[in-house]
Chains A and B, each alone.
Chain A
């Protein structure tokens, strides 16, 4: 088995034994390239050798059910740093390996920020965030990440380096090849540099919190929030909170001029009914952080690649919980989604983005077989099930548990994939199978 060529810079070689990405991934090489041309060299070499390339940010969020032999893991640590930041333009260009915590620190003195709040956001890199395509509940007020990625430099599967988009907020010069890269999980290209739109820090922030014992009693309040005549910038319903006095909480986040926030607060207090706490400052930040990283998340473990970011400490469901799933449906179906969770898995910790209709939840390996039924229930209400992370020892075929796109969309996606990655060098997520069709064992489709 041939190794990375000797000509490759020593500072870009990592120790493959530092990386663990789960049982299904055999990491043969760890490369930490310092430039797009270096990435291109690695990708070309890997394609020639028939290896699979796995680009990772910090690696700790690479949760998916990856299966790869002799994988070449490409870590973005040395692709960090802010390249262009003109505060008055409200745009920023930085290397893909830049930690979001570093960006936040650079933006704060200018009263600017990135309104994205997926779990563990500060432990992610810019490239990792964009590759995962995660926006978080703030998408309600600010739009999804995909709408704010203005440009990127990417290395394609054949080693070509392309510059997509630009650094202006409105740009329709040609086909938008940037969009499919957002959320492509490193399966189409390696992102080396990214330009994002920024936002001014809101003048006033308030977080309204209503607590309850069971999620059912807050579902109506949550649906009321989703239908209110004004939109919060985010609304989250969390269940299974560890230290909250109640087991469930509905959080409504308001931004804007102080007088409008005051008026919106009155609107939502009426909609939510009953006692509502109003938080700001550090108290608001803390409750938002807990909700954001719930269920799962946890302290950063540094830059070493580590699967299983789902930490047990925030979970009160009783068992050690290492699985994470995402249940989606239209926002008005929130009650159905939570009922489906309850009836298939029992009581599990969850966090629902009320405005988007997506619910992240934790599950144990014992509960994994029930995911197949959950998928069926969700698809029955026009929704879908995704799995972010499968716990060790889970006895379920991934292909039976996760929802899939239709055959036509899948065929088109395969052609689109081939445009970015002609040799097929980048890793693929295991694909799902249409519901109801039994899976061949062993092996699965991945």
Chain B
């Protein structure tokens, strides 16, 4: 149980944001105890919800004055525990900072507050023939501020890239409450450092993005979606390699494995994927309508040459949704059949995927755990999902050990410990696998350059110095 805030501080916070927007009631704090990584739960001392940049700055200044840790929070959909509160600190949520400040259709820019939900920006810009490209799976609920903090990806980032590609400017509130403008479209200043790029992906440790300027893209004229069904994962992998080698850049190249297919088909989300298949590959092209059939035909040929048992091409939007269903509902379906689900995240060079997947299967067998794989095959970004029951202590130990081995396997294959979910609390212990003491020291120094007292999101990203290299 956390210690209540000093009453004068509480009063000060209430005077800044209004009495209803400082939450101290334990029953209401409950929902803030964790993010999408529900294994970790900590109640904060309070949650403060400012409505704009000025309020945010004042809130942060007040908390800095009291020397209290601050945990920034968007929608809480993160999967690495990045928004996990600290028992001695305060959560600053962006839920009320949810306005789209401007849309400049001519220059294809938008300026938003951090609490704007990702999908809402696309809805708002669609009437202008524009959309916001990065589309994390949680886009119907996750916020753009959270996307900036995590440098979020999504199934379409093979062609379009991740959040960092689209953020052109930021207004940030630093740990002491100072408001700083970084970058900005239409300006390129000699000798200026890319501080926007540095801030994106800083997981709430460098400050809070109070305003975000993003680039928009014109809506694609058309889309073609294929679903290839394979009897072996190797064949599916060969199809991906040959599509890439043929010079095509699909918008998405997604694979689900046999365990995932079975989980989906056994759930309410059944998508009609054959349950005896070893892999299903979703290939999607978007762009100018006239070119799409040509690309789809070429990709279909790649799949068939690689040994696909069946290739379906979506004939309409409904059919397209059906082909995607087995991929999009994979996490939901597994969540239904499993008491608990650990969604892992790692990236390897694409050509190493087959051997890494075989290794993951072997690890699962050795620890007697069911691991279902979903992955962004085009980028080598895999999500091994471990199904377990947190009330089974021996299983929890095995999950931990298997996770360790999976991370080590990916790093040994030339990969990294997280491709899009971030380090948060969950991956801190693996940072030593990919970074040496020199790199970690530089990251620590960079954090101090933004937040000398380390009050922003303490205990995230960087391992405790004692754990380094462990």
Interface on A for B, CB 8 Å cutoff? Answer: 64, 86-91, 111, 133, 143-144, 146-147, 156, 160-164, 166-177, 179-180, 182-185, 187-188, 199-203, 223, 226-231, 256-264, 267, 326, 328-333, 357-358, 382-384, 386-387, 402-406, 408-409, 412-413, 415-420, 428-429, 431-432
Contacts and interface: CB of A to CB of B under 8 A. Distances in A.
B193 A174 contact: no
A416 B193 contact: yes
B434 A143 contact: no
Nearest to B463: A174
B181 A200 contact: no
Nearest to B295: A257
A416 B350 contact: no
B349 A229 contact: no
B191 A431 contact: yes
Nearest to B422: A172
B423 A169 contact: no
Nearest to B410: A168
A417 B443 CA distance: 13
A160 B441 CA distance: 11
B127 interface: no
B154 to A, nearest CB: 10
B9 interface: no
Interface of B: 104-109, 129, 150-151, 153, 157, 161-162, 164-165, 174, 178-182, 185-195, 197-198, 200-202, 205-206, 217-219, 221, 241, 244-249, 287-295, 347-351, 376, 379-381, 414-423, 427, 431, 434-436, 438-440, 442-443, 445-447, 449-450, 461-462
A228 B414 CA distance: 41
Which residue, A86, A188, A428, has most C-beta atoms of chain B within 10 A?
A: A86
Contact of B181 (A111, A357, A408, A417): A408
A207 B98 CA distance: 42
B290 A328 contact: no
Contact of A413 (B105, B174, B193): B193
A225 to B, nearest CB: 12
Contact of A328 (B165, B182, B187, B195): B187
B136 to A, nearest CB: 12
Given A331-B106, A408-B181, A200 B351 contact: no
B423 A405 contact: no
Contacts, number: 273
A387 B190 CA distance: 7
B122 to A, nearest CB: 16
A257 B434 CA distance: 39
B301 to A, nearest CB: 14
A409 B107 contact: no
B194 A182 contact: yes
Nearest to A178: B197
Given A166-B415, A229-B218, A260-B287, A386 B189 contact: yes
B198 to A, nearest CB: 5
A167 B414 contact: yes
B221 A229 contact: yes
Contacts of B246: 200
B221 A174 contact: no
A90 B447 contact: no
Contact of B194 (A174, A179, A420): A179
19 contacts: A89-B380, A147-B165, A174-B423, A180-B194, A180-B195, A200-B245, A223-B106, A226-B106, A229-B219, A230-B221, A258-B291, A330-B104, A330-B186, A332-B107, A382-B187, A405-B192, A412-B450, A416-B198, A419-B446
Nearest to A169: B379
A35 B371 CA distance: 44
Nearest to B200: A176
B421 to A, nearest CB: 7
A111 B244 CA distance: 11
B152 to A, nearest CB: 9
B189 to A, nearest CB: 5
Contact of B420 (A170, A264, A357, A419): A170
